A = this chain, B = another copy of it.
Amino acid sequence: MPDKPGAERPKYQRIADDLKAAIEAGEYEPGDRLPGENALAPQYGVAVMTARQALRVLKNQGLAESRKGAGVFVQAFRPIRRRGIQRLAQDQWGTGRSIWDADDDRTLSVDQVSVEEVTAPPHIADVLGLTSSATACARSRRYSLAERPVMLAVAYLPYDLVAGSAITRPDTGPGGIYARLAELGHAPVHFREEIRGRLPTSDEADRLGMSAERPVLKICRTAFSTDGRAIEIQEMTLDSASYVLDYEFDA
């Protein structure tokens, strides 16, 4: 039950809600062209600017996308299903598969790779138990599906734990970071993923090639070794229109 009757809401929001309902009812299918601002304005008796604002809301909700000179279309991108638990099962990285392949039948490409020795941000240093003089190995990269950037990720590990291993090199080899940590005697056995939603910073929006008015999902994953020590933190920034997070578990 809404607190306010619909008539008190801004007109552009009522138009956006109508179009959203029509998309969800299947009246417009993925890839279909939506009515343009010049058709919506007389239909609702509003200014063209108001109709444009309604279409902007749908684009920021990830339900529609502009194609230059052709209009606004129902989003046809099938979001990536990211399986939080199954993807981190030891038999994924244990056999040399990349855990990023476990998400979907489509393959992500990687660019903007950097591996650096850094002073960790305070909230990272705290969780990793780094003393004020200890550094972290920071592995940063961007994931894309076809040409569409979908996720930024930075992994932080205590530098003294990984010095000399392939973790400090751009290519970590088969099975990735977790397989290398296992070889070093620090196999992760337990994970925590913390999820938040917010609007992106301008840098995040730039790198993801998305509007600063479309939300990102933030996932912060901490990996623990058998002795309960936090050995790695991954900070991930996901385009909310590109992902469904999926956690399956027993009661």
Contact = CB atoms under 8 A, between A and B. Distances in A.
Contacts of A90: 251
B197 A9 contact: no
A217 interface: yes
Interface string A1-27: 111101001100110110010001110
A199 to B, nearest CB: 5
Interface in A103-144: 112, 114, 121-123
Given A1-B112, A13-B212, A215-B215, A199 B61 contact: yes
Contact of A206 (B4, B114, B194, B201): B4
Interface in A21-63: 24-26, 57, 60-62
A236 B100 CA distance: 27
Contacts of A215: 197-199, 215, 240
Interface string A194-225: 11111101110011010011111100000000
Contact of A189 (B1, B121, B240, B251): B251
Contacts of A79: 196
Given A1-B114, A3-B206, A246 B212 contact: no
A89 interface: yes
A248 interface: yes
A169 interface: no
Nearest to A8: B206
Contact of A245 (B10, B88, B194): B194
Interface residues of A, number: 67
A121 B213 CA distance: 29
Given A202-B9, A202-B14, A190 B250 contact: yes
Contacts of A9: 202, 206
Interface string A77-93: 00100001100111000
Nearest to A142: B1
B20 A251 contact: no
Given A3-B206, A79-B196, 11 more contacts: A3-B209, A10-B202, A13-B202, A85-B249, A187-B251, A190-B248, A193-B247, A196-B245, A197-B215, A213-B213, A217-B217
9 contacts: A2-B203, A3-B209, A17-B202, A25-B122, A190-B250, A191-B249, A191-B251, A195-B244, A198-B241
